[in-house]
Amino acid sequence: QKEVEQNSGPLSVPEGAIASLNCTYSDRGSQSFFWYRQYSGKSPELIMFIYSNGDKEDGRFTAQLNKASQYVSLLIRDSQPSDSATYLCAPESNSGYALNFGKGTSLLVTP
C-alpha cells in the first residue's frame, strides 16, 4: 500500500482567512492527484484535480503540485463556515483507476 500522509487536524481558521491543506505521497509513479471534500456523515465529493507541476486555480480553490518533492496541497481562499469538512487527498494509484486516499484533514472555519 502506497503511503499518503495528511495532518489529521483539526485545522481551525477564521472566516475569510486562507486555509492550507497539505499532503505528501510516497508513490513516485503517481501522475494525477485528486482532492475530495467529505462533510460529516456524507460521501466524498471531488473538488479539484491536478496533473501538472505548479498551480491550478478554480474559484476560491487552488491546488498545488510538486512531483519532485512528492507534495500536493489545497488552498482555500476566503474560507467560509460551509467549507468546514474533511479534505481527502487522493493520488492515483499505479492501477490507473483505484485512488489511494489519505486519512484526511479536518478543517473548521470559525465565524
Mapping DSSP onto H, E and C, the string for 15-78 reads CCCCEEEEEEECCCCCCCEEEEEECCCCCCEEEEEECCCEEEEECCEEEEEECCCCEEEEEECC
Q: Does 29 bind another protein (CB under 8 A)?
A: no
Q: Which residue, 31 or 66, is less far from another protein as judged by CB?
A: 31
Among 42, 53, 78, 94, which residue interacts with another protein (rule: CB under 8 A)?
Answer: 42
Among 46, 52, 58, 77, which residue interacts with another protein (rule: CB under 8 A)?
Answer: 46
CA distance 64 to 66: 7
Q: Does 32 bind another protein (CB under 8 A)?
A: yes
Cell numbers 512528492: residue? 70
Reported as type and span, the H/E element at residue 86 is strand 85-91
Among 29, 40, 43, 82, which residue interacts with another protein (rule: CB under 8 A)?
Answer: 43
Q: Which residue, 32 or 70, is less far from another protein as judged by CB?
A: 32
Residues that bind another protein (CB under 8 A): 4, 32, 34, 42-46, 49, 88, 90, 92-93, 95-104
